[in-house]
Chains A and B, each alone.
Chain A
Amino acid sequence: MKIPLTLKKLFRRRIVLAAGICLLVVVLVALLANVITGYDPNETAVRERLSVPTASHLMGTDELGRDLFARIAFGGRYSLTIAALTAFGAIVFGTLFGLLAGFFRRLDAPIMRVVDAMMSLPDILLAIALVAILGPSMLNVVLALVLVYSPRVARVVRASTLVVRELLFVEAARAVGVSTGRILWRHILPNLMSPILVQASFIFAYAILAEAALSFLGVGVPPEIPTWGTMVAGSQQYAHEALWIVLFPGLAIILTALSLQLLGDGVRDLLDPRLKKSL
């Protein structure tokens, strides 16, 4: 019963509601890509190449005559999956190390210095280096981005753990003999859910952008898999003939990333009313 009420509160702000609906539409279009588009995303039709958006090709066609809308819809499956897996992985690893660093004083310095070191390399640069090492594939892009974003989560989780650790109920739990593992899992972790949730939505958005950038640079997903990033990369030299083939995949990226960040902001405002006025 508590969840619907929270959701109701979250979507009371119209902009957050709009973001939620946008995201839902993007996800549905990707999931139902084979139902709502009448085209195979990889079927080429050279005679129809670089067609402007028409009734039969809603977003036009690309340099090989492939239907752009179908490619964006199917590409969404890849882009969204990569980003969702990245957010999940980064949350799991980041939370684990953040909890350890925040709770056990001995582990704090070693873990956080490694975090500092990893965060002193620009996101995209570290990701490029990692993918180069692991080899370009979808899974490796996810692995690289998980490694890039975990330190960010760890830093946030550690900061919150340091606060929660000192609260009275933790001391009470310890006094009645609750084991350390159980204290971490049942008493501290639930209190960190709000910052973790906010981080998850932001990392989801960053991962959409980062995957696209990596694929654009040619060090991400292999070019034959249609993600929003590889679509822009593959079509860029035709942009002067047909700007839409670059425009639409980019708009899909922007719409998704923007919705996610607005949702993240909404969740943060809801869970932490003190921040509402500032950020």
Chain B
Amino acid sequence: MRQTRIARNIWLGIENLLLHKLRSFLTMLGVVFGVGSVVAMLSVGEGASKEALEQIKKLGSNNIIISSMKSAEEEATSTQHSHMSIYGLTYDDFRRIATSFRSIRQAAPVKLTRKDSRLLQRVLELRIVGTTPEWFDLVPRELLAGRVLLQSDLAKQAPVAVLTEFGARRLLATESTIGQTVRFGTDQFEVVGIVRSESGQAGNIQIPDQDVDAYIPMEVARRYFGDIFTKRTSGGDEREKVELHQVIVRVDDPKKVEAVAGGIERMLEQFHKKKDYVVSVPLALLKQAEATKRTFNIVLGSIAGISLLVGGIGIMNIMLASVTERTREIGIRRAIGAKRRQIIYQFLIETVVLSTMGGIIGLGVGALIPFLITYFSGMVTVMTLKGILLPLLISMSIGILFGLYPAIHAAKVDPIVALRHE
């Protein structure tokens, strides 16, 4: 019975609002924009978090990626002829990092070189990644055919290669290609597997793998290709000596990632004269996402706050006018036997209906804003159930908050005076 009474009150509220369509709509606008802003705010924030999480997943959530990087001074002198730049991570660095930290469970060294590769009659420049089987744990990708590198490949220094899906497709390698011979430069390798790959940036961190990778055992890469690389540039040959291009480690506890990264940084500082490395922490992307979220929250939050306040005051104003207009109705209801409380309920529900309808329209507007943000800035936005329910809850609360005063005002109407009211 109580439910039907509330339902009837809601219906009565809707009918009264429909009686003054334009007025009701204009009154709702503030709430519409306020709720719209809240929806946009939540979906942008949610999108930023989701994007960051996806990126972190690609990078490895508990990973720390240490990359070799030509230092600024080296960059300046390397234009001279016959100069050889020596920089980056060393085999010793890898050993020290892998063994010194208790919370580092797995570590993979990475040695890179680019080679024209040939399978049957097809040629494609591949990035040859010398690494260990740990790589496939730290950069987990789906295995499409064959197998990944094994510890025994390392021990035997077997000339085997795992291709990535994209490179394999370009070289016309398929499942049947497993066991065939691929040439990297002049050296022959046996294709043992094909894995899927990611590529590109995640935040400001390079994703460890690329589409044109071929993975071979670390020791093989070192023996076949050495540590000295020659780059052909317009100014002549440029030579570099880099032992390791990357070291990827995994920390057992996400809470320790930052501390370990700091420890690695300090350790490397002691052994390197120049800053020729960079330590990246994928988990830090979450912090960036939080920062993005905060910026949007401040902007949209202020818009939402002001709109909701103004909207609420607008609703209060219109409801006060409505109470005056309907003084006689209130008098009739009171004379019939309605208690003050029931008059309060009636007007309160009417206000909540008004503000909630504003909220529902605002939800539509709010769904449009993230869509436009995504369209124009490419930022990921996500609508969640929470992102829908919270704004609705806010709009209802606005109705209660700003409807209470007019409703109490209505209940104070003296029925005797109200019945004589014209």
Instruction: Verify that A and B bind, or say they do not.
Output: no
Measured CB to CB, the residues of A under 8 A from B are: none
Measured CB to CB, the residues of B under 8 A from A are: none
